[in-house]
Amino acid sequence: MQRVTVTLDDDLMSELDRVIEMKGYQNRSEAIRDLARAGIREAVVNAPDTGNCVAALVYVYDHGARELSKRLVETFHEHHHLSISTMHIHLDHDNCMEVTVMKGPTREIRHSAEHVIAERGVRHGQLVMIPVEMEAHSHSHGERSPHRHMHIKVK
């Protein structure tokens, strides 16, 4: 581990101390490490052509909106290689929330999420992406033939 000296103005230090107290960090170093990780993740995910990520797309929509459920399903079928799983929650008589877990190229996931969020009848939407490296591995189980699959390594 490396030691780094950073100079912060008084206002920024006061804000940092408020975050430390609010979130219950043990010390300033832990808080700064977490904030640095979050900033790096944000910079990597928002940079163009950043490689691969795992993501959660969370959105709330009016389930009574004409053909919306059908359009959403069609969107995910068109991008089936990105979608891992979707959880559907009934919030009330008019609104549903879905959480879709995705993995793949960051650019494609962002494009797919923007398409879903822009649909008429989708009221709220947010995409959370975490940059990853995807590595192909192969192995066999006993006497079976070897098979290939992807391992995801969080950066």
Provide the residue range defining the domain that includes 33. Answer: 10-46
Q: Running DSSP on this structure, what letter comes out for residue 26?
A: S
Q: What is the pLDDT of residue 143?
A: 75
32 and 63 part of one domain: no
18 and 59 part of one domain: no
Domain count, the chain: 2
42 and 101 part of one domain: no
pLDDT digits (tens, 9 = 90+) for 52-110: 899 999 999 998 888 888 888 888 888 889 999 999 999 999 999 999 999 999 999 99
Phi-psi region of 138 (alpha: psi -120 to 50; beta: other; left: phi over 0): beta
Give the largest Cα separation in the chain, rounded: 65
Inside any domain, residue 76: yes
27 and 101 part of one domain: no
* Model pTM score: 0.67
Q: What is the pLDDT of residue 131?
A: 86
Amino acid identity for residue 146 in this structure: P
Confidence of residue 48 (pLDDT cuts 50, 70, 90): low
With a cut of 80, say whether residue 155 has pLDDT above it.
no
Helices (H) and strands (E) in the chain, counts: 4, 5
Using an 8 Å Cβ cutoff, are 108 and 76 in contact?
Answer: no
- Give 140 or 23, the one with higher predicted confidence: 23
Q: Running DSSP on this structure, what letter comes out for residue 76?
A: H
Percentage of the chain beyond pLDDT 90 is 34
23 and 42 part of one domain: yes
Looking up tokens 């962002």, which residue turns up?
110
Inside any domain, residue 41: yes
133 and 76 part of one domain: yes
Percentage of the chain beyond pLDDT 70 is 95
Confidence of residue 46 (pLDDT cuts 50, 70, 90): low
